[in-house]
Amino acid sequence: MNRVLLIVWLWMLAFAPQTAHAVPVVADLSNYRIFIDSGFNGTRIFLFGTRNDTGDIVIAVRGPQKDYIVRKKEQVAGIWVNGDRMKFFNVPNFYAVASSKPLNEIEQANIFRQLGIGIDNLLTPPPNPKWQEKFNEFSQAFLNYQKEHKLYAIDPENIQFMAETLFKAIIYFPDNIPAGDYTAEIYLLSDGEISGMQSIPIQIVKSGLDAFLYEHAHNRPILYGITAVLLALSIGWFTGRLFEKI
C-alpha cells in the first residue's frame, strides 16, 4: 500500500460517521506478506488504525512459537564444553511491542501477564522457587541473545497519534527474520480491562532459490541430502580434473 492510499484510508477513518456500535479499535497493515531471499536486508511494515473509545493502545507482534534450549559453557581441563542447561517452551521466535506510552505507565500488570505483553512476561518462571535464580540467569541470557540478533525489540516503540483517534506504528523486521506465520495484535486497554482487540496475520515466506532449498530441506530431507552429497562429489571430481589439466 503506497503513501497516498494510506492517507486516504486514514482520512476515511477520521471522517466516517460514528455509531453506537462502532468497533472500539480498527487497524490495518501496509503489507501482509514479506518475501525474503538471499538479497533481503530487512524491511518495515506500517501499522495504522483508529480508536473509537478512550484508552491506551498496545501492539504486540509475535512470530511462530518454538522450544529453546539454553546451554551454559563451562571450562573443564582447559576445554570449553556444554554444562548446565534450561529449556523454554512455546516462546515466540520474534517479538516486538509498540505502545501509546511506556508499559510501566499503563499499569495493567495483570492483563500484560495474561497476554504475554512485555519482556518480563515472555518466559514462564518455574513453579519451584528454588529454581528462580537459575531461571533468571538463563532467561536473561536468552533474551540478550534474541535482542542482539534483532529478533526481540525489548524496548517498546512509541505509537504516534494524529489527532485524538488516528494512530500509526512502524514494525521493523531484520534480515535474519525466520519464515513463518506471524501475528500483529492490537489492544485497547481502559480501566483495567480490554475494551477492544484486533489480530492481523502476517506471512513471511522465502522466495527464489532460497525457497526451493528451504522446501526441499524441510519436506524432502532424504532427497535433499542425497542431492547435496552428489553435488559435492561432482564439484570435487570437476575440480580434480581441472587441476590435472593444469
CATH number at residue 142: 2.60.40.1930
pTM for this structure? 0.75
Residue carrying the nine cell digits 531471499: 37
In terms of residue numbers, what domain contains 108?
3-206
Task: Report pLDDT for 129.
Answer: 80
Q: What is the mean pLDDT of residues 209-227?
A: 55
- Tens-digit pLDDT profile for residues 173-191: 999 999 999 999 999 998 8
10, 162 contact by CB (below 8 A): yes
- Tens-digit pLDDT profile for residues 69-105: 998 877 676 677 777 889 999 999 999 999 998 888 8
Q: What is the mean pLDDT of residues 1-15?
A: 49
Same-domain status, 151 and 238: no
**Measured between alpha carbons, how far is 166 from 10 in angstroms, rounded to an integer?**
7
Of the two residues 128 and 224, the one the predictor is more confident about is 128
Same-domain status, 226 and 201: no
Task: Report pLDDT for 10.
Answer: 52
Does residue 222 surpass a pLDDT of 60?
Answer: yes
Q: What is the DSSP secondary structure assignment for residue 129, as one 8-state letter?
A: G
Same-domain status, 196 and 227: no
Q: What is the mean pLDDT of residues 21-25?
A: 75
Alpha-helix runs per DSSP H in the chain: 3-15, 103-106, 109-115, 132-148, 208-219, 221-245
- State whether residue 162 is helix, strand or coil: strand
Task: Report pLDDT for 232.
Answer: 66
Q: What is the DSSP secondary structure assignment for residue 124, as one 8-state letter?
A: P
Same-domain status, 199 and 222: no
Tally of domains in the chain = 2
Q: Distance between terminal CA atoms of the chain?
A: 56
Provide CB contacts within 8 A for 142, sequence distance 6+: 68, 70, 88, 91, 123
Same-domain status, 242 and 197: no
Of 13-17, 29-33, 176-180, 204-208, minimum mean pLDDT range: 13-17
Give backbone dihedrals phi and psi of 22, rounded to 5 degrees, phi first. Answer: -65, 140
Same-domain status, 225 and 176: no
Task: Report pLDDT for 218.
Answer: 56
Same-domain status, 121 and 23: yes
Q: How many CB atoms lie within 10 A of CB 198?
A: 17
Q: What is the DSSP secondary structure assignment for residue 178, as one 8-state letter?
A: P
Same-domain status, 188 and 222: no
- State whether residue 223 is helix, strand or coil: helix
Same-domain status, 80 and 106: yes
Task: Report pLDDT for 192.
Answer: 82
Same-domain status, 75 and 64: yes
Same-domain status, 67 and 80: yes
Q: What is the mean pLDDT of residues 185-207?
A: 91
Q: What is the chain's mean pLDDT, rounded?
A: 80
Same-domain status, 153 and 224: no
